Structure 1
Amino acid sequence: MPTYAPNKMPTSVKKRYFELLRAGYKGAAAARVVGVSTSCGSLWFIDAGSMIVPDPGPISPRFLTQDERIAIADGLHAQQPVKQIAASIGRSFQTVYREIKRNAKTDGRYNPWWAHNQALLRRRRPKAERIRTSEPLRTLVPVKLTEKWSPQQIARHLAREYAHDAVMRACPETIYRALFAGLLGRRDVKLRTGRTRRKKQRRGVPTLNKIKNMTLIHQRPAEVNDRKTPGHWEGDLIIGRGQGSAIGTLVERTTRYVHLIHLPHGWKAPQVRNALITQTAHIPPQLRKTLTWDQGRELTLHEDIEALTGFRIYFCDPHSPWQRGTNENMNGLLRQYFPKGTDLSVHTASDLRNVARQLNHRPRIVLGDRTPAEVMQECLAGPLTR
């Protein structure tokens, strides 16, 4: 019988045992050095997966080390909360949650040496690129990209449609890398943003209190924030080359349904007022509750708009685009159709309707991969009160 029970030795002893194995010691020799029986060491070795994967050391600080995994295991054994364990090793609690979920053994136990071995095995390079080796993926992914699906939407689509076929899986990063490496074609296939990296977007906000009789966003009804009741919209303008043209954008907060406002005669306050009044008349009255806008001069005549549309208009604080974040997100999507620095006056009302139709029939993760058109139709079919 072994002199020591395999799970009752201090963690430091086990750590030294595995360090000796990685250094090339035989199991029996390593057990003698740390003062345990050969059978006890063998049980540790078997519990760790019966393998020792060479550890070149972390190639980036974002990777967990063996010592950090040992600290996680000790914390779990002591029944410490995950957030407390994360704080003790200087990591986010999300990192620790993912580590436990990903590298726990099949019986649910977290063995730090097993976990480290699994991480090292996954880190081994080179690995065959999934899309390079899969002809079906190289055929399907470009089709979705040309339909202006994002890599995230494509990845979720693959996971749903090919749930039992691991070969037909690709995470968003795999799709990005394949695209930038030219595996999906270089001419027709591209991201709908047309960019290879993020670029900050900011439009200046005029001075404070330039609009008379504004009602600020802090006075907006509380029901707007929970997104359970449709009929609350966010609006803005996207500006063309030389600030000579613009398109109005309206997004419904609950359904993410977008409606574009054609401004062929300019975007000063009278033109914007007239366009909003005439081009929102088709929206059912029960879906015209509130409209949140920034403090742009184009809405100086907001009182006229309220009187003739039924919208109650609320204004964001200066320099606070996050207060109408749904609209900011939609404006980013619209830039694939209306790039910055271009003349927006060349687009007809029919063009705007076609763009809005395409966006409203694109699945959104925030809607459970349903489309804004589907959610809006459900709202119209159900009971609505103004």
Structure 2
Amino acid sequence: MSNSAACREVGVNRKTGNRWTYGRTVKNRNGKDYVYAPIAKKKDGQVSDRFLSEDERVQIADLLCAGHSLRSIARRLGRNPSTISRELHRNSNPATGAYQPFQAQRRAVARRARSKEGKLRRDPELKEFVELHLGKRWSPEQISRALPAAFPGQPERHLSTETIYQAIYLPHRGGLERAPGQLRTRRKHRRKRRRPDQRLTRFRVTGLTINERPTEAAGRAVPGHWEGDLIVGKDNRSAIGTLVDRTTRYVKRVASFLF
């Protein structure tokens, strides 16, 4: 693929694709030089260590011939047993059941290289169903759960939540004729998802849970302990913050919000 076509497929700017491919030195916000090293190309078309390599597939075939179980093979390769099971299920000969590692490698490389067209582009009725419910302000998760009931016995028309999100935020891949900002969140770009070990708390001091509150607050014996609550209006367009005294049940309206 050309650089422009590859950037459209991934969803990045052409300049970013050039930096990834050829490397470049640019100035960051602090005025210091930052070097973009070109992407290192691996052998046999492998793009990530999460994919099985040709050597690993040869080891799988040898261990199968030696009579090892799937779990034993997975322990030797440092892989999950389900990875080995899927590999054998996809690439074994359906007639004889034999596993051929070199043919399996060629199939895996061909699957990764193929430009995959989304289900929504191939199925106008499915696309119309998704766009209709997005217009009703349904979330992608609600649409994903409604598809099995709308198309029973048709698993090819069932979509995951992630597929719908990608169709919204990457219309050149998903095929939805819809602006990203028309979701209920009104975000034009996806929020970054961090791993649990990379997430940062919004608060400087960790708050207390309900189980850790004082005894006099739990028993409603002493006034002066307040509970906060948020009342949300229709379509999440308005909200009111309230404070309630646990003993006297006196209510304060803290603030009102319009979105």
**What TM-score comes out, normalization by structure 1 length?**
0.37
* Counterpart-to-counterpart distance in 1, 2:59 and 2:229: 57
Match of 1:198 among 193, 199, 215: 193
* 2:243 maps to which of 261, 266, 270: 266
**1:221-254: CA deviation from partner (whole Å, max 9, x where unpaired):** xxxxxxxxxxxxxxxx8xxxxxxx6339xxxxxx
Q: Which of 68, 78, 101 pairs up with 1:80? A: 68
CA contact (8 A) 2:46 2:53 kept: yes
Residue matched to 2:13: none
Separation in structure 1 between the aligned mates of residue 151 and residue 145 of structure 2, nearest angstrom: 10
RMSD of aligned C-alpha atoms? 4.4
Does the alignment pair 1:346 with 2:256? yes
For residues 262-321 of structure 1, the C-alpha deviation after alignment (integer angstroms, 9 at most, x for no partner) is 986416xx349949xxxxxxxxxxxxxxxxxxxxxxxxxxxxxxxxxxxxxxxxxxxxxx
Q: Deviations for 1:78-122, whole angstroms, at most 9, x for unmatched residues?
A: 332333312322323332233233333335543323432332332
Q: Residue 91 of structure 2 contacts residue 104 of structure 2 at CA under 8 Å; is this kept in 1?
A: yes
Query: Is residue 2:168 matched to residue 1:168?
Result: no
Q: What is the number of residues matched between the two proteins?
A: 184
Cα separation, partners in 2 of 1:274 and 1:74, compared to 1, 3 Å: farther
The answer as to whether partners of 1:263 and 1:272 remain within 8 angstroms in 2 is: no
Distance 1:84 1:211, change over 3 A: same
Secondary structure at the counterpart of residue 247 of structure 1: strand
Native 8 Å contact 1:246 1:345 kept in 2: no
Structure 2 unaligned blocks of 5 or more: 1-42, 217-226, 232-238
> Is 1:71 matched up with 2:59?
yes
**Deviation at residue 186 of structure 1 after TM alignment:** 0.7
Residue 58 of structure 1, CA deviation = 0.6
Task: Tell me if structure 2 keeps the 8 A contact 1:72–1:85.
Answer: yes
Deviations along 1:158-208, whole A, 9 cap, x unmatched?
456446557634444432221111343115643769561326455543479
1:149 maps to what in 2? Answer: 139
Q: Which amino acid aligns with 1:61?
A: D
What CA distance in whole angstroms lies between the structure 2 residues aligned with 1:211 and 1:271?
A: 12
Give yes or no for contact 1:73–1:112 (8 Å, CA) kept in 2. Answer: yes
Gap change, CA 1:206 and 1:123, over 3 Å in 2: closer
Within 5 Å, which residues of 2 pair with 1:1-386?
56-107=44-95, 108-145=97-134, 146-151=136-141, 154-155=143-144, 157-158=146-147, 161-162=150-151, 165=154, 168-182=157-171, 183-184=175-176, 185-186=178-179, 189-190=182-183, 194=187, 196=190, 197-198=192-193, 200=199, 202-203=202-203, 204-206=205-207, 211-213=213-215, 246-247=229-230, 265-266=242-243, 270-271=245-246, 274=249, 345-346=255-256
Report the 3-state secondary structure (helix = DSSP H, G, I; strand = E; otherwise coil) of the residue aligned with 1:178: helix
Q: Which has a greater percent of strand?
A: 2
Gaps of 5+ in 1: 1-54, 215-236, 238-244, 249-261, 276-342, 348-386
Identity in percent? 27
Letter in 1 for 2:193: R
For residue 230 of structure 2, give the secondary structure of its aligned residue in structure 1: strand
Given residue 205 of structure 1, which amino acid in structure 2 is its aligned partner?
A: T
SS state at 2:243 partner: coil
